[in-house]
Amino acid sequence: MKRTKTNILTIITVLLIGASLVGSVYAGNYGYGHKRPSDIVHTAIGAGSFNTLVAALQAADLTETLMTSGPYTVFAPTDEAFAQLPEGTLADLLKPENKAKLQKILTYHVVSGTLMAADVTKLNSAKTLEGQMITIDTSDGVKVDDANVVKTDILASNGVIHVIDRVIIPN
């Protein structure tokens, strides 16, 4: 009887430990403090300086795409970059009737594939999801159109984010 209780307790302990490990994997935690990168949208949310970008992605119905598809390279403007737009521009873009225009601007910040910083510096241009080419200039730092790349290689499960200091606008 005592042996049966010990065996049952051992089995329960093993099952609880196993369940705990499975829960950690589904939560993105692979143990020892390592986490699997989140998708682009959740990575931007976690970074904290992309609240405006995330709100714009939601208004343009692009969050699901950037959460599930990929891989993508996103040249992500910070909240400060959006604040540099002329007064009233952002509020106007966030209106439902301007959704197509907002989508055009946001997809102009996205390139198909994962381009790490080392890859970007080898390019003169790249085709965006919007369809137009962005220019890449490495003569004095790295610029994408007229925006400076201020931080690079923020990994996400479905691509990479490079932080830019201005919102770039397609023609």
Q: What is the pLDDT along the chain (171 residues), one digit of tens a residue?
A: 555 544 444 344 334 443 333 333 333 333 344 466 799 999 999 988 999 999 999 999 999 999 988 999 999 999 999 999 999 999 999 999 999 999 999 999 999 999 999 999 999 999 999 999 999 999 999 999 999 999 999 999 999 999 999 999 999
* 149 within a domain of the structure (yes/no): yes
Q: Do 29 and 51 fall within a single domain?
A: no
Measure the CA–CA gap between 51 and 126, rounded to whole angstroms: 26
CA distances from 32 to 20, 29, 153 (A): 14, 8, 23
114, 73: one domain: yes
Q: Are residues 65 and 3 in the same domain?
A: no
This model's pTM is above 0.75: yes
Distances (CA, A) of 127 to 24, 30, 124, 141: 38, 35, 11, 20
Angle subtended by helix axes 51-59 and 99-107, to nearest 10: 130
Q: Give yes or no: residues 41 and 26 share one domain.
A: no
Same domain, 44 and 24: no
Structural domains in the chain (count): 2
Same-domain status, 73 and 143: yes
**Looking at the structure, do residues 62 and 138 belong to the same domain, yes or no?**
yes
Which residue reads 């996103």 in tokens? 74
Radius of gyration of the chain (CA): 22
Which two structure tokens, joined as six digits, stand for 88?
């009233």
Residue 23 domain boundaries: 1-36
Same domain, 26 and 64: no
